[in-house]
Chains A and B, each alone.
Chain A
Amino acid sequence: MAISARRRRTGLAAWGFALPFTILFAVFMLVPVASSLYMAFTDMHGADLRTPWAVNFVGFDNFAAALADPKFQQAAGNTLYFVGVAMPLTLGIALLLAVLLNSGLVWFRSVFRVGFYAPVVTSIVAVAVVWRFLLQPDFGIVNSALGLVGIDGPRWLTDEVWAMPSLIMMATWRNVGYSMVILLAGLQGIPRDLYEASAIDGAGAVRQFRSITVPLLRPTLLFCAVITGIGYLQFFEEPFVMTQGGPLGATNSVAYEVFNQFGFGNYGLSAAMSYVLFVAIVILSYLQFRLLRTEK
């Protein structure tokens, strides 16, 4: 009796702790996730904003329309292009910097760490101002510097070929610091004795990197790959502030197309597209877990 009464009391107290978050979570997260799924199967438009229940079910029409839409196809291709190049680039540079910083020979480790991480904490809107100037074709710093060595730099953000590489550079610049900090912490967790023991056994530096660093860093690399992949698949902010998806849709992304269709008032289509993106994120994360999980 006493025990069950006490349990009931702690149960009440526990819900007391959980309730404020749970209410907000239900209203502002669960309801939107569920209604997004609902909207994806209806013909809801901007005009139905105040009467979201007075819409027609259209089955998979929105999904079919999205997949058949050349603009969506282009956006999906661009997103894959972005993830496929920016993700290995970001992780590669982050790993390189982390390994370099982990060396005992670095002069001011915390200065470097802070400097590499600083872009992560800055606002994309502010960063856009800076990068638009850096990449300005006539007097921007990048083309002026290229001019010094006799290279006639492209019109970065308005060139169909160069716009995406520009955004890849920018996204890499902004995200390297995050993975670097986590990888550095992972590297510092690898016992030094392992390197010394393997050196005695005659292992060279490359061999040590492949046989000690990479396997022991695998869980950390996996974490960075999943987080970076999830973020990069939602590629939106860079094109939004830099190119508005142009030129000629060359930097349009799936997330951007979701936003555009929302802007056009095609709420159902927009929701369907966002679920396509969701599925892509789940698939990519699953593949990464399969690929990078610790081998038994």
Chain B
Amino acid sequence: MTVLTERPRTRRPAGDQPSEGRSAARRFTPRAILLNVVLLLGLAASFGPLVWMIVSSVKPEGEIRQFPPTLFPEQPTWDNYTELFATLDFPRFFANSVVVALAVTVGSVLFSAMVGYALAKLDFPGRRVLFLLIMGTLMVPGMVTFVPLFVLVANLDLINTYAALILPFLAAPFGVFLMRQFMLDIPDELLDAARVDGAGEFRTFFAVVLPQTKPALATLGILTFLGSWNNFLWPLVAVQSADKYTLPVALALYSTGQNTVQYGLLVAGATVIVLPILIVFLALQRHIVQGISTTGLK
């Protein structure tokens, strides 16, 4: 609380200065140093466990258990990964995860954009009812649909298929909500101009509307991909044979299904799941963070 209240006080002299007071000197006052040290401790708590995971994945079993943990492995080794990829068929699980996440992302984003456009910009019978139904399901907890979804998928004979892993996630109400919000901001004149120029509805959508909503498409795409990549409960019950496992399912089954704990293999498996996402996140962090904040502020 003491640190928290410093900000406005340090702001006050800044107001007297002609510039916004970003001078280097102000950044190294005791107050600034204290603030940054507090934030660094927070960073160690939030990012430290992930660093530990990645570093431990290239350590031998004994070194993983050392305290304090070494930041740079004393005996770096790829053994954990070699074993992971040789004995547990992780390449297959990785490919499954990629295929499912890509299919869910492309399908969900495209369908959400299409229905979002119709709801925002077109007049059609049933529009209000459809909109209310979609919004009404936004708050339905996943557990409500979980059991009947299993019954349904079983009766459609889709258990243990890729379709079971993909189709239910193409009906995400959040995506429609997000796309509709963005499409409301597209000026009607733009659409009318395209129609006057003789473009049909589908051409208008693909050539005019979609390019206008690139930021929303990117945000939704990233969030959908993340959700699908990390999803584990549904795949855990919807597929039963190892050739359909996604990465989190494989790791969850492996990490609970054994007696002796081999941390090396587990952290290597965890790293295989997290590292690609972390790299994508670091590369796109500006878009992701902006996207998240706008969905929250809209």
Q: Is B248 an interface residue (CB 8 A)?
A: yes
Which of A31-39, A58-66, A287-295 lies at the interface? A31-39
A209 in contact with B4 (CB, 8 Å) = yes
Chain B: interface residue count, which band?
Answer: 35 or more
CB distance from A234 to the nearest CB of B (A): 5
B144 in contact with A178 (CB, 8 Å) = no
Which of B29-37, B71-79, B82-90, B213-221 lies at the interface? B29-37
CB distance from A292 to the nearest CB of B (A): 14
- The listed residue (A21, A130, A192, A255) touching B50 by CB distance below 8 A is A130
A206 in contact with B5 (CB, 8 Å) = yes
Contacts of B240 in A (CB 8 A): none
Contacting residues of chain A (133-166) with chain B, CB-CB under 8 angstroms: 133-134, 139, 141, 144-145
A106 in contact with B39 (CB, 8 Å) = yes
CB distance from A181 to the nearest CB of B (A): 5
Known: A17-B118, A101-B39, A133-B263. A205 touches B5 (CB 8 A): yes
- The listed residue (A15, A18, A209) touching B5 by CB distance below 8 A is A209
Complex alpha-carbon distance, A107 and B277, angstroms: 26
Q: Is B267 an interface residue (CB 8 A)?
A: yes
Q: Is A285 an interface residue (CB 8 A)?
A: yes
B149 in contact with A32 (CB, 8 Å) = yes
B32 in contact with A105 (CB, 8 Å) = yes
Q: Is A262 an interface residue (CB 8 A)?
A: yes
Complex alpha-carbon distance, A112 and B27, angstroms: 16
Which partner residue on chain B sits nearest A186 by CB separation?
Answer: B297
Known: A105-B27, A123-B248, A205-B9. A100 touches B149 (CB 8 A): no
Chain A: interface residue count, which band?
Answer: 35 or more
Q: Is B161 an interface residue (CB 8 A)?
A: no
Contacting residues of chain A (238-281) with chain B, CB-CB under 8 angstroms: 240-241, 244, 255, 258-259, 262, 267, 270-271, 274-275, 277-278, 281
Contacts of A99 in B (CB 8 A): 4, 7
- The listed residue (A16, A18, A31) touching B119 by CB distance below 8 A is A18
CB distance from B270 to the nearest CB of A (A): 4
CB distance from B134 to the nearest CB of A (A): 7
Q: Is B128 an interface residue (CB 8 A)?
A: no
Known: A14-B124, A123-B230. A105 touches B281 (CB 8 A): no
B232 in contact with A115 (CB, 8 Å) = no
Q: Is A119 an interface residue (CB 8 A)?
A: yes
A10 in contact with B124 (CB, 8 Å) = yes
8 CB < 8 A contacts A-B? A11-B122, A17-B115, A106-B39, A110-B286, A123-B247, A126-B248, A205-B6, A274-B141
Can you list the 8 inter-chain pairs with the closest CB atoms, starting with the nearest? A185-B293, A126-B270, A14-B124, A182-B296, A13-B201, A14-B122, A32-B145, A105-B32
Which residues of B does A touch, CB under 8 Å? 3-12, 14-15, 20-22, 26-27, 29, 31-32, 35-36, 38-39, 42-43, 45-47, 49-50, 52-53, 64-65, 67-69, 111-112, 114-115, 117-119, 122-127, 130, 133-134, 137, 139-152, 154-155, 167-168, 170-171, 173, 176, 200-202, 205, 226, 229-230, 232-233, 247-248, 251-252, 255-256, 263, 266-267, 269-271, 273-274, 277-278, 281-282, 285-286, 288-289, 292-294, 296-297
